């Protein structure tokens, strides 16, 4: 039962999904940054689809192709030496996404900063991967927590409102931060329960993901 839950958490919070979650959160917090009034607008849906395709779907498909070509033993890439190819493919795609978003001005600087943070974290993880099997899951979750902290402190977002069928619901950013921290802790625990990583890999991932967002923020702003 616990292992099934741990596997479910690992899938739902897969590191490749984090850029999409970051975009969705920013759309919920302040959709007007994107020129839309809510995440349900067509423009917002198209942005979410675009980010999902380039940061999750295409890298995931490349992993499957590598598996069938015999470049990796399994799509979970348990051997850290075999993670070099997937890291490089994902890194190139993320750089391309960041470059195009920053050059065209299609997305606001806030999300461009968060995307750059993901790029920095990915390449730091790639370097560390040569010596230790750092947890990509906790790298992603550390970045997600970093994004929420930056949104609270520098963008002065104290709360945001969700338009539900039952009426508007105001959510405190502090509560969102607490949820993000609990989710990050749950994912790290899941990776340990599945014996996918050692504690040092998990905590190292949190640190890399979190600090990379602040490096990116300093560069963009």
> Which tokens in the block code for residue 188?
């790290």
Amino acid 158: pLDDT? 75
What is the domain count for the chain? 1
SS3 147: helix
Convert the pLDDT of each residue in 202-220 to its tens digit: 999 999 999 999 999 999 9
Convert the pLDDT of each residue in 128-159 to its tens digit: 988 888 999 999 999 999 999 999 888 666 77
List the domain range (segments joined by +) for residue 80: 2-220
- The CA-CA-CA angle for residues 129, 130, 135, to 5°, reads 15
CB neighbourhood size of 157 (10 A): 17
Convert the pLDDT of each residue in 30-72 to its tens digit: 888 888 888 889 999 999 999 999 999 999 999 888 888 888 8
Contacts of 12 (CB under 8 A, 6+ apart): none
């Amino acid at each position: 039962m616990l292992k099934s839950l741990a596997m479910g958490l690992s899938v739902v919070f897969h590191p490749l999904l984090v850029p999409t979650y970051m975009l969705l959160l920013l759309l919920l917090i302040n959709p007007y940054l994107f020129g839309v009034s809510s995440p349900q607008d067509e423009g917002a849906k198209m942005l979410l689809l675009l980010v999902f395709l380039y940061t999750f779907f295409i890298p995931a498909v490349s992993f499957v192709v590598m598996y069938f070509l015999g470049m990796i033993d399994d799509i979970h890439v348990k051997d850290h030496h075999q993670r070099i190819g997937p890291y490089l493919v994902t890194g190139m795609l993320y750089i391309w996404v960041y470059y195009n978003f920053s050059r065209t001005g299609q997305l606001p600087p806030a999300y461009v900063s968060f995307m750059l943070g993901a790029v920095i974290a990915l390449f730091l993880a790639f370097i560390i991967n040569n010596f230790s099997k750092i947890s990509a899951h906790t790298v992603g979750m550390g970045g997600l927590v970093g994004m929420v902290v930056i949104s609270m402190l520098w963008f002065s977002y104290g709360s945001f409102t969700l338009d539900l069928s039952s009426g508007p619901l105001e959510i405190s950013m502090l509560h969102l931060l607490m949820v993000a921290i609990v989710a990050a802790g749950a994912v790290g625990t899941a990776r340990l329960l599945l014996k996918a990583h050692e504690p040092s890999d998990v905590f190292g991932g949190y640190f890399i993901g979190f600090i990379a967002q602040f490096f990116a923020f300093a560069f963009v702003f």
